[in-house]
Amino acid sequence: MDEAMQPEAGGRKRGFAADLVPGLTTAAVVVPKALAYATIAQLPVQAGLFAALVPMVVYAVLGTSRLLSVSTTTPIAILCATAIGEALRADPGLDPLTAAATLSLLVGLMLIAARVLRLGFAANFISEPVLTGFKAGVGFVIVVDQLPKLLGIHIHKEGFFRDVASIVAHAPELSWPTLGVALGTLAVIALAQRFLPKSPAPLLAVALGIAVSAVVGLEAAGVSVVGAIQGGFPAPRLPQPGLFEAMWPAAAGIALISFTESIAAARAFARNTDPPVDANRELFALGAANAAGAFIGSMPAGGGTSQTAVNRNAGAQTQAAALVVAATAFATLLFLAPVLALMPHATLAAVVIAYSIGLVNPAEMVAIRRVRNMEFRWALVACLGVMVLGTLKGIVVAIVLSLAGLMYLAYDPRVYELRRKPGTNVFRPCSPEHPQDEAIPGLLIARPEDRLYFGNAANVGAKLLALTRAAAPQVVLLDCSAIPGFEYTALKMLIEGEEKQREQGRELWLAALNPEALELVRRTPLAERLGRERMFFNVEQAVAAFEARQAAQ
């Protein structure tokens, strides 16, 4: 039995019964949201239920997280909307479920290929500030996307800012009954979250919307409803490989977001007693889940943060709870299709908006700005990238920003001058917080704080030169304890630096080289020039040698 299906060690109850109630609780949140997210993706609502069926079961069997709840999510849905919308514009006769199936299969194949290539590290490919900004942008885009349904108006969608202008221009045409249904739905969700925090607010809102529609006859009052739904057992569906070429950029973005969100949720909600989440196994599990779901017309799936939180808080112990969710989705397809047909689109739009607003996290943005203003700017650019360029190009912006951020941090590492704490053999960075620290006459101790490579070698060299000119020492001692390794350009800089120091009557000493860095130095002429007498095990040993030499002179 897979680890994700095994109960927590020392758990209160064992077996399927322990996960029955938590599974039903999670299903009460997952099923209504899945219906709503399908509408974001311009798909029939059953496509959302399909995502809570086969992908949920496959992940439950293959995944490494006991608690991760896998169906569709808000960012995945909006990316699907982009890909499927383009496919339908290119071929108006294309079945949307076939387009969804093709997209899901392509996402699954990409994730499985990433597993073969052991690309699990890609879970950290987008930095947290950039991901925060990207999600905020997605939240704003989804709200604007759903506002016409909430207001009962029709606009031609042309991009975020033009859509906002169109909504304002068409506002006088709003349908008051539709707006009333939407506001009522939002009120139900808000009141349930405020006074009944453990209740399934989406289920209550959807159930009430259907009930009002049935009793009052909302469709006759001009309120748009979902209409006929193809219920029963999902019919097998064959993806169209001919769409791969057009859909692969969107599929790549969905695969990255699905994996990133899934790993983040799995790690965030794991208990101390749970087995560790294996990123590479997660790639395969999510890939298999999407590929299998494709053959019933499921939209792409991934782990959702909010539904995983519900799953854990409800007391789920294993992935058996996910099987309960899948069974509930299946029962909904079999028995509730006629009831779901009465559901107002405004109700679904209100559910989507209520839960998409949570993607905009002002507190997190404030926290990012408090820590690093530059990363706050990256978050803002990522947010604007989604709003201005669209979600698919917004992912590219997010990835480029993350890589640029990584390069920026590596490009300009700190170089500290070290001084000795009085009365001790402790050496620490020179700082206004301890001005009494002692500089050793004739000795400059400098410590770069990162791996040295071609991108930062010139910067580090310039900082070392500035420190050397200010101190005018006899010996420059380079503390290498914070340098994981050298790249060829950096080693060449070190060799040339030693030559310049020697020409100016100074010596270069090295201390605290790790085994890898030491081996690299030994392969260069620098090792022969320095010899054993100028390479030391640590800073303390080097300082002792310098002071002994000074005393002997």
pLDDT at 5: 58
Superfamily (CATH H level) for 415-552 = STAS domain (3.30.750.24)
pLDDT at 4: 62
* Rounded average pLDDT over 495-504: 91
What are the tens digits of pLDDT across the range 278-330?
999 999 999 999 999 999 999 999 998 888 888 888 888 899 999 999 999 99
pLDDT at 10: 44
What are the tens digits of pLDDT across the range 356-392?
888 899 999 999 999 989 889 999 999 999 899 988 7
* In the chain, % of residues over pLDDT 70: 97
* Rounded average pLDDT over 233-254: 90
Cβ 301 vs Cβ 293: under 8 Å: yes
The pLDDT-based confidence of 404 (bands split at 50, 70, 90) is: confident
pLDDT at 394: 85
From the list 128, 100, 106, 117, the residue with the least C-alpha distance to 252 is 106
More confident residue, 233 or 260: 260
DSSP state of 302: E
Q: Is the pLDDT of residue 3 over 70?
A: no
The pLDDT-based confidence of 156 (bands split at 50, 70, 90) is: confident
Instruction: Report the greatest alpha carbon distance in the chain.
Output: 103
Kindly list the distances between the CA atom of residue 319 and the CA atoms of 83, 252, 269, 324, 333, in Å, as whole numbers in the listed order: 31, 27, 14, 9, 22
What are the tens digits of pLDDT across the range 408-466?
878 888 999 999 999 998 999 999 998 999 999 999 999 999 888 888 888 999 999 99
Q: Is the pLDDT of residue 9 over 70?
A: no
DSSP state of 437: P
* Rounded average pLDDT over 125-134: 84
The pLDDT-based confidence of 15 (bands split at 50, 70, 90) is: low
The pLDDT-based confidence of 13 (bands split at 50, 70, 90) is: very low
> For the chain, what are the domain ranges?
3-407, 415-552
Q: Residue 72 phi/psi, 5° resolution?
A: -95, 160
* Separation of alpha carbons 248 and 79, rounded Å: 12
Count how many residues are written for the chain.
553
Cβ 352 vs Cβ 206: under 8 Å: no
* In the chain, % of residues over pLDDT 90: 56
Cβ 151 vs Cβ 171: under 8 Å: yes
* Rounded average pLDDT over 487-494: 89
Buried b / exposed e over 231-253, threshold 16 CB at 10 Å, is beebeebebbeebeeebbbbbbb
More confident residue, 58 or 267: 58
pLDDT at 428: 94
Cβ 179 vs Cβ 150: under 8 Å: yes
108, amino acid identity = G
Q: How many C-beta neighbours within 10 Å does residue 21 have?
A: 14
CA geometry: angle 318, 320, 321, nearest 5 deg: 85
pLDDT at 178: 94
The pLDDT-based confidence of 7 (bands split at 50, 70, 90) is: low
pLDDT at 14: 53
Q: Is the pLDDT of residue 12 over 50?
A: no
Lowest-pLDDT range, 101-110, 325-334, 354-363?
Answer: 354-363
How high is the mean pLDDT of the chain?
89
pLDDT at 121: 82
* Separation of alpha carbons 75 and 80, rounded Å: 9
pLDDT at 43: 92
The burial of 547, by beta-carbon neighbours within 10 Å (0-12 exposed, 13-18 middle, 19 or more buried), is given as middle
Q: Is the pLDDT of residue 11 over 60?
A: no
Q: Residue 462 phi/psi, 5° resolution?
A: -65, -40
